[in-house]
Amino acid sequence: MIADLEGHADYVRTAAFSPDGNKIVTASNDKTAKIWDAQTRKIIADLPGHTKSINSTAFSPDGNKIVTASNDKTAKIWDAQTGKLIPNLEGHTRYVNSAAFSPDGNKIVTASNDNTAKIWYTPEGIIEWLSTQNIYKLTQKDLENLGIDFIDLEEMS
* 135, 93 contact by CB (below 8 A): no
Taking the C-alpha atoms of residue 70 and residue 28, their distance in angstroms, rounded to an integer, is: 10
The DSSP string of 2-68 is -------SS-EEEEEE-TTSSEEEEEETTS-EEEEETTT--EEEEE---SS-EEEEEE-TTSSEEEE
pLDDT at 87: 82
Do strands 65-70 and 43-47 pair parallel, antiparallel, or not at all (unpaired)?
unpaired
* 61, 103 contact by CB (below 8 A): yes
Per-residue burial over 114-133, b = 16 or more CB atoms within 10 Å of its CB, e = otherwise? eeeebebbbebbbeeebeee
Nearest to 69 by CA among 47, 95, 91, 46: 95
Note the pLDDT tens digit of each residue in 61-76. Answer: 999 999 999 999 999 9
Work out the mean pLDDT of the chain and round it to a whole number: 85
Average pLDDT over residues 99-106: 92
Model confidence band, residue 152 (pLDDT cutoffs 50, 70, 90): very low
Q: For the chain, what percent of residues have pLDDT higher than 90?
A: 69
Nearest to 30 by CA among 46, 15, 52: 52
pTM value is 0.80
* 111, 117 contact by CB (below 8 A): yes
Average pLDDT over residues 16-21: 98
pLDDT at 146: 60
pLDDT at 1: 72
Domains of the chain, with CATH numbers?
A: 12-121 (2.130.10.10)
Model confidence band, residue 153 (pLDDT cutoffs 50, 70, 90): very low
**pLDDT of 132 strictly over 90:** no
Average pLDDT over residues 79-99: 93
**pLDDT of 40 strictly over 80:** yes
